[in-house]
Amino acid sequence: MLAGRAVVRTGELSVEGEDVSGMRQKAVGVVAGLGGVVASEDTGSDPDGKVTRANLVLKVPGKAYETAIQRLSELGTRLSIRQESTDVTEQVVDVASRIESQRASLDRMRVLMTKANTIGDIVSVESELTRRESDLEALLAKQKNLSLQTELATLTLTLTAKGKPPVQTEPKQDKGFVAGLKGGWHAFTAVFSALAKGVGAVLPFLLLLAIIGVPLWRFRHRLRHPIARPLTQPAPQQPAEE
């Protein structure tokens, strides 16, 4: 915090020197001496195995931030520096106020719990109490995170070998038969995807047409070709009595 304000400080520092490995060791010592830590690290080497690049993310106490930049800049030739400060005082105050309100709300819910008589009331109060306890835990975690961000500044330190920038290799390109095979496969998948999209767009209309058209076709077919009913045979005549 600066003058009662909660400030999150971040920076990026790039230093060039002859011995990157040695500069890295000195940087770790400087940070440890100021009460900081190395949060993460990434290094790169040349074909001979010599370290030519080192990226370190450092966490330094806010009060020692300026001192850290000064001492780390003295490791070699400072190439660039970028600093940023974000005032989060309002967020800190808001979270603290919400935590106080949430705790008071929990106290009221606990009083209601002692007065609950029916099982339904007990279940309802317990459910609400659990929800509010979860909200309080989330607020406490946010408060802790804000506190860490304001207490520890984040400084990204890049160390590079003098006159030896990191080698960037171009991606290998396939040629000949493999390139043709990949090209043909990409073309096939593109055509198949287009056909699938077309079928997907038309399918709902085909289903609707089938639902309406099939019964209509059957009805018209019955009108054109009525079902022949069997002819009734005349009853046999009884012989006349004499």
3-class SS string, 198-238: HHHHHHHHHHHHHHHHHHHHHHHHHHHCCCCCCCCCCCCCC
pLDDT at residue 106, as a whole number:
92
Q: Residues 166, 42: contact at Cβ < 8 Å?
A: no
More confident call, 111 vs 163: 111
Torsions phi, psi of 129, nearest 5? -65, -40
Question: Tokens 């008071």 — which residue?
Answer: 104
167-196 pLDDT, tens digit per residue, is: 443 444 555 555 555 565 566 566 556 566
Give the residue-averaged pLDDT of 107-114: 89
pLDDT at 160: 93
From 30-44, 94-108, 188-202, 221-235, the region with the lowest mean pLDDT? 221-235
Ranking 29-43, 137-151, 155-169, 194-208 by mean pLDDT, the lowest is: 194-208
In contact, 58 and 36? CB cutoff 8 Å? yes
- Average confidence (pLDDT) over 61-89: 93
For residues 132 and 105, is the Cβ–Cβ distance under 8 A? yes
Residue range 33-58, pLDDT digits in tens: 999 999 999 988 888 888 889 999 99
Q: Provide the 10 A C-beta neighbour count for residue 18.
A: 12
| Torsion, Cα of 92, 95, 98, 102 (10° steps) | -130
| Least confident window among 20-29, 42-51, 206-215 | 206-215
- Please state, for a pLDDT cut of 70, what percent of the chain lies above it: 67
Closest CA to 106 of 128, 139, 121, 123: 128
Whole-number pLDDT of residue 219:
65
DSSP annotation of 70 reads H
* pLDDT at residue 207 greater than cutoff 70: no
Instruction: Please state the three-class secondary structure of 140-174 as a single string.
Output: HHHHHHHHHHHHEEEEEEEEEECCECCCCCCCCCC
Q: How many Å apart are CA 11 and CA 69, to the nearest integer?
A: 9
